[in-house]
Amino acid sequence: MIAANRLTRWQSALPFWLSMLLLPLIWLAALFGGWTILLPPLVTWYLFAVLDGFFGLNLENADPMTDEDDLRWYRWLTTAWVPLQFACLFGLIWYVTHSSHLSGLEKFGVFFGVGVVTGTIGINYSHELMHQRSRLERILADLLLAMVLYSHFRSEHLLVHHRYVGTPRDPVTARYNEGFHRYFPRVLRQCWRSAFRAEREKLARKDRPWSDARNPFFRYWALQLAMLLLAALLGGGGGVLLFLVQAGIAIWQLELVNYVEHYGLTRKHLGDGKYEHVRPHHSWNAAHRASNWLLINLQRHSDHHYRPDRRFPLLQNYTQAEAPQLPFGYPVMTVLAMCPPLWRRIMNPKVRRWRQMYYPEITEWSAYNKAKTPMPRAGTRA
């Protein structure tokens, strides 16, 4: 109960609020230009990697039965971020398009940094919010995703990814030996289609067509159109262009993380199109303290897939014996993912050891390595 009691104090939640410091950094870049445009990506990618080395690993677990009322400081963080990001994003669109002290390259650099923040923090917070039962929190998740034109991520994540992770039906699960530069265009193409198909099939089970008003894609499109119109109203064509820059960078950041989270990990095929249940060892785990502050424990991904309903402060850490461990936190791993030869050199041996540890009976993995090939039964030849 000591760990649970600690969660009731605001001091225990304070490190997770460090993400708020990224918002004034973006404004600093917009106000002064020059080298300051490098601050948001440098802090997000590199400073937290250094802090991981300084603060080490956090192997402690909070009591998963902690009362919801004791998590208010954590809930307020993800809730408060939404209006702050909205004000920051559109305030910057107005300011930058009406300022003369920034060059075109500096304007791009400012909104590159905005995209790093709306992707690393905003989409991550939307991920936390969309998993909650509260209607308000789900609406807030939709607003965050609309700000980066990636609203379908909610349907894809909840209806496809969590159900089919580690199987060929999940576009987001990165295949063994698949470099990020092949992965990225594939998921951009496949995830939208799989999300729309999942919502269409959900409506069909209720004898409703895809065009039914209950299809959330109509809400997604309306919100995204509203965001684009607001950007145009505040900054004209330049405002829309800057909005698109940050949205593209945010999506890239999200899919880099998705690539890392399940790279090469597959669920065992049981035959007749069935797979084993999702277990902690089907996601890469990372216990690095500082980057988990930044990413609200997203790196405890093994427990998130095992118990998707848990709020982020209650996610449990797993040992090497229970789940595969990343050598570094996401800030370092996502940079490594941009260099496929280096990524494969580090991660492919880890995937092979994972296969030997959890599935020694499977002697042929070729079918598991392909995105569209049905997986054979364990122990059989492809």
- Summarize the confidence of residues 59-74 as an average pLDDT: 90
pLDDT tens across 172-202, in order?
A: 999 999 999 999 999 999 999 999 999 999 9
Q: What is the pLDDT of residue 382?
A: 32
- Quote the Cα angle for 315-261-123, to 5°: 75
Q: Which amino acid is at 115?
A: G
Instruction: Give the Cα separation of 346 and 333 in Å (integer).
Output: 10
pLDDT level of residue 371 (50, 70, 90 thresholds)? low
Instruction: Give the Cα separation of 328 and 334 in Å (integer).
Output: 10
pLDDT level of residue 272 (50, 70, 90 thresholds)? confident
| Nearest Cα residue to 378 out of 271, 283, 262 | 271
pLDDT level of residue 7 (50, 70, 90 thresholds)? low
What residues have CB less than 8 Å from 283, skipping those under 6 apart? 165, 261, 262, 265, 301, 302, 304, 305, 323
Tokens of 1: 């109960």
Instruction: Give the Cα separation of 160 and 129 in Å (integer).
Output: 17
Instruction: Give the Cα separation of 81 and 129 in Å (integer).
Output: 11
- 19-33 as b/e, with b when 16 or more CB fall inside 10 Å? beebbebbebbbeeb
pLDDT tens across 143-169, in order?
A: 999 999 999 999 999 999 999 999 999
Instruction: Give the Cα separation of 61 and 70 in Å (integer).
Output: 15
DSSP 369: G
Stronger pLDDT, 368 or 253, i.e. the higher one: 253
Q: What is the pLDDT of residue 375?
A: 42
| Nearest Cα residue to 118 out of 155, 73, 154, 88 | 88
Confidence (pTM): 0.93
Cα 91 from chain centre: 25
- 214-235 as b/e, with b when 16 or more CB fall inside 10 Å? ebebebbeebbeebbebbeebb
Are the beta carbons of 318 and 58 closer than 8 angstroms? no
Q: What is the pLDDT of residue 1?
A: 38
pLDDT tens across 327-367, in order?
A: 999 999 999 999 999 999 999 999 999 999 999 998 888 77
Q: What is the pLDDT of residue 84?
A: 98
Cα 203 from chain centre: 27
pLDDT level of residue 372 (50, 70, 90 thresholds)? low
What residues have CB less than 8 Å from 3, skipping those under 6 apart? 60, 61, 62, 63
Tokens 């990343």, located at residue: 326
Instruction: Give the Cα separation of 273 and 322 in Å (integer).
Output: 26
Q: What is the pLDDT of residue 31?
A: 97
Specify the 3-state DSSP secondary structure of 138. helix
Instruction: Give the Cα separation of 375 and 365 in Å (integer).
Output: 9
Are the beta carbons of 181 and 341 closer than 8 angstroms? no
